[in-house]
Structure 1
Amino acid sequence: MILSAVLLVLLLAIDGLQVAWAEHTSNWAVLVSTSRFWFNYRHLANVLSVYRTVKRLGIPDSQIILMLPDDMACNPRNAFPGTVYSNADRAVDLYGENIEVDYRGYEVTVENFIRLLTDRLDKDVPRSKRLGSDSGSNVLVYMTGHGGDRFLKFQDSEEIGAWDLADAFGQMWEKKRYHELLFMIDTCQANTMYTHLYSSNIIATGSSALDQSSYSHHADNDIGVAVIDRWTYYVLEFLETQVTTPNSKLTLGDLFDSYDETKIHSQPGVRWDLFPGGEREGRLRTVVDFFGNIQNVEVEGNSTESGSLVKDLAEIAKLVDRWRRRDQEHLSTTQNNTNSSPLVLLGNEGRLTYAPQKRIAAATKMTSEDCWSKRLVGALILTGGVAVWVAGSIFGQS
């Protein structure tokens, strides 16, 4: 009897939680400029602009990997030392005081990039330089630099090919290092870089088609070079003017529909076929699913975890008593009925919620004591689950 009750509770819990498992639980961003030298100032400004946007929408530095091969802010040619701007009006300093660069200078290599994605870094590499994503993570990968047909140059000394990138994403999928991935690239012939991708749950977009260049938007005469590329400029214009809050409901379809070839001067591309449901489903993903940090979990500090546990246990006790009274009322009116009864679950926001489930009719007469024993086992399982969750949170943060 006890074994059957345990199995029943677990099966109903799994059924009730399957929707929550389908949603992502964290957001990560990998932002890469692959160009050094002063005349490539715009590539650094591209990636720093995206960096500023994802931070504005809620992704913390601890979940952003920023790779900068050159420090334009401290370049002797910089007329405004310690700053980087993406617009000639110089309204926003992209470098600022709160920038955290994870890979700098000659650390920005093809090898380090692939090792980062596939989690093949040496054991002494600090956590801040690791992509800590998992099967519940939505990952944004943005790259910018000089490229060509199915390759992107790293610092004018090496290249990453389209197959290299495809295999890296393939390993990420096999290792359960992402739930959904958005790949964005701004370079000449950018769209050729995602032609060989084969892994599931990927949406890819680029700035230019085969045999097309990716152009700069404008220059700052005082700085003396172009300060941003066209495609990235208009992507950011949409993000900065339309996606104003982390709760925005604008979708990737809205973003991609905003592409205007007459302004970008090249043909941006989008690839949907690797995403479940294809374009129809992919277009419905919100922009903040990748650029923001909206999650369906609540994280509490150690100081409040014990209080939260007490509240949860008290709530469980109340609900168990409610079940007992409901069963007594039910048994007093009918036997072997198939009315619905509530199964209590810890919902995806960490709060107790009801999930209606169908009661399995008993083959023989069911007493109130039998009902009570089954629900008591379920309560014990839920209590144990809460205790394990709290213990994992405490030791995981220590």
Structure 2
Amino acid sequence: MRIVLSALFLFSCHILYCTAVPGWAVLVAGSKAWIRYRHQSNVCNMYQILRAQGFPKEKIITFMYDDIANNTLNPRPTEIINEPNGPNLYHNIDIDYKGTNVNKENLFKVLIGDTSSGGKVVKGGRTQNVFLYYTGLGDESGEFTMSHSTEGYIKNTEFIEILKQVSVKNPFYRMFIAFEASHSGMIFEEILPTKMKVIVMTAGATDEDTHGAFCEDPKFKTCLAGVFSYHFSQFLKKNDLSKSTIFDLYNYVRQASKVHHPQLYGQLEAGHMPLRAFMKYKTTAGFMGVGASESNEVDINEEESNEIDINISHSLELDDTDSINNNL
């Protein structure tokens, strides 16, 4: 009887993902240069969100070229923002891989847990979850950028192969990937095995460009955020991650994005998992250190999501898409 009850408990735990705990977060800005400001600001924003959720610095691994904050074009020297008049998101951020170290070789080593280069890597565990966030450029072939990959872009097939290796060499409980790039659906559609313990949310479908937001400020002459990333982050800031699921986040972002259509791939049953399983340790402070408590966390309904104005049209002579072809 004791054995049967134990088996039933373990089975129910699997169904409810009660063994799932946040383990590691890998945040990747796959581009460089001032015109692509938004990718590095997106990473800074996500970093601050995780820190506000109690995520320890030691468990966050960042890839960021780091040529924005001190860029001569920056009207707010030494600072990075993600929305007009926003807070300085560059403050207290630890960048683990910068400059020429932002390359696919290091990304693959980080995910596999290969310490041969001496940098911080994911140390997997079967009861730990991994959150991987990428923001950069993509194209119709399913390739995407790492700003200093010695062999060019990362192909979708080699990325999926790395994920397969990770599941064997550096196993995890579940991995949640959020991916913002043009044609990001092409990276995963029909080639990501559904049996892998990976669920992916892309910013758009296989045939869609994704766009920058807040592109109007003549002082910056660039877009401050990505449309997908901005809505994604707004949900995380304003909702209780212990109660909200990946599906809740997906439904909100899909409703709010308008200009492109986020997709889900992989092990879709993991969409029922609460976001806290990937992003929330014990909360000690709110976003950017402002005190927070459960009572301060509010739900965003669909009507409110449509009221956030992040107009992507602009009069500046710049391209706001995340397409490789338009950013050569």
Please tell me the TM-score bracket, short chain as reference: 0.7 to 0.9
* 1:177 CA drift (Å): 2.3
Give the partner amino acid of 2:154. I
Question: Contact 1:147/1:189 (CA < 8 Å) preserved in 2?
Answer: yes
Shift of the 132–161 alpha-carbon distance from structure 1 to 2, 3 Å rule, reads same
CA RMSD in angstroms comes to 2.5
Give the Cα–Cα distance (whole angstroms) in 1 for the partners of residues 5 and 168 of structure 2.
27
When the two structures are superposed, what TM-score results if normalisation uses the length of structure 1?
A: 0.63
| Bigger Rg over Cα | 1
Matched, 1:52 2:43: no
Question: Contact 2:199/2:271 (CA < 8 Å) preserved in 1?
Answer: no
**2:201 matched residue in structure 1:** 205
* 1:153 CA drift (Å): 1.5
What is the correspondence of 1:182-331 to structure 2 with a 5 Å cutoff? 182-195=176-189, 196-198=191-193, 200-219=196-215, 220-243=217-240, 248-260=242-254, 263-271=257-265, 274-275=266-267, 279=268, 281-293=269-281
**2:312 matched residue in structure 1:** none
Unaligned runs of 5+ in 1: 1-7, 296-398
Instruction: Using the TM superposition, name which of 147-156 and 55-64 deviates more.
Output: 147-156
What is the correspondence of 1:86-101 to structure 2 with a 5 Å cutoff? 86-90=82-86, 92-96=87-91, 98-101=92-95
Matched, 1:125 2:113: no
**1:141 matched residue in structure 2:** 132
Give the Cα–Cα distance (whole angstroms) in 2 for the partners of residues 261 and 249 of structure 1.
19
Unaligned runs of 5+ in 2: 284-328
Give the Cα–Cα distance (whole angstroms) in 1 for the partners of residues 97 and 205 of structure 2.
29
Query: For this pair of structures, how many residues does the alignment match?
Result: 273
* 1:236 CA drift (Å): 1.1
- Higher share of residues assigned helix: 1
Shift of the 87–270 alpha-carbon distance from structure 1 to 2, 3 Å rule, reads same
What is the correspondence of 1:101-120 to structure 2 with a 5 Å cutoff? 101-120=95-114
Shift of the 197–118 alpha-carbon distance from structure 1 to 2, 3 Å rule, reads same
Give the Cα–Cα distance (whole angstroms) in 2 for the partners of residues 234 and 262 of structure 1.
7
**2:147 matched residue in structure 1:** 155
SS in 2 for 1:151: coil
* 1:167 CA drift (Å): 1.0
When the two structures are superposed, what TM-score results if normalisation uses the length of structure 2?
A: 0.76
Shift of the 39–156 alpha-carbon distance from structure 1 to 2, 3 Å rule, reads farther
Question: Contact 1:69/1:106 (CA < 8 Å) preserved in 2?
Answer: yes
Identical aligned pairs, as a percentage?
22
* 1:283 CA drift (Å): 3.2
**1:350 matched residue in structure 2:** none
Give the partner amino acid of 1:208. G
Give the partner amino acid of 2:228. W
Give the Cα–Cα distance (whole angstroms) in 1 for the partners of residues 64 and 229 of structure 2.
17
SS in 2 for 1:153: coil
Give the Cα–Cα distance (whole angstroms) in 1 for the partners of residues 202 and 135 of structure 2.
10
Give the Cα–Cα distance (whole angstroms) in 1 for the partners of residues 22 and 137 of structure 2.
31
Runs of 4+ in 1 over 3 A off after TM superposition: 11-22, 260-264
Q: Any idea what the Cα deviations from partners look like across 1:256-278, whole Å, max 9, x if unmatched? A: 1113467440111112xx42xxx
SS in 1 for 2:106: helix
* 1:110 CA drift (Å): 0.8
Give the Cα–Cα distance (whole angstroms) in 2 for the partners of residues 177 and 260 of structure 1.
30
